[in-house]
Amino acid sequence: MARAKTLSVVFKSNHQHQGMLLPPDLNDLIPANHPVRTVNEMLDKVDITTLLQQYKPGGTSSYHPGMLLKVLVYSYINNIYSSRKIEDAVNQHIHYMWLSGMSTPDHNTINRFRGKRLQKTLQPIFTQVVYWISGSKSKSSDY
């Protein structure tokens, strides 16, 4: 008479509290073809000189406007418009952490940036983005 085999359930190991010798590099965790990389590359090519000129020398340090612009554009692409939700995303989601370089602007900073700083420069910046996407000009910074 053959013995009945008893099968047991096998689970993958879960080492939630296992420490790491080195933290992972965020760049390695973002796929090469992920939209966050496209936003980053696109906005790196945009001339933000007029935006940079709005900042006065001296005083306390500010978050870089290029980083804030990237975070806003990526948020809008993902239908996130609330400054508090954007703040949460920058603190909790790996794509936002990578895009912001681990900077964590709060909701007030995000609101001041998009209200005060972007008000005059948004149109020319997005014109450059449209030209870059459409391939109309070889250099989007010509505009």
> What pLDDT band is residue 1 in, cutting at 50, 70 and 90?
low
Q: CA torsion, points 78, 81, 87, 93, in degrees to nearest 10?
A: -10
More confident residue, 7 or 31: 31
Nearest-10 crossing angle of helices 65-77, 83-92: 100
pLDDT tens digit sequence for 92-115: 999 999 999 999 999 999 999 999
Indicate whether 64 pLDDT > 50.
yes
Residues of the chain by 3-state class (helix, strand, coil), percent to 5: 50, 0, 50
- pTM (predicted TM-score): 0.81
Rounded CA separation 102/125 (Å): 24
| Element housing 37 (H / E) | helix 35-44
Rounded CA separation 90/98 (Å): 9
Of 63, 54, 43, residue with least CA distance to 125 = 43
Buried b (16+ CB within 10 A) or exposed e, 51-60: beeeeeeeee
| Element housing 70 (H / E) | helix 65-77
Of 86, 122, 126, residue with least CA distance to 107 = 86
**pLDDT over 90, % of the chain:** 59
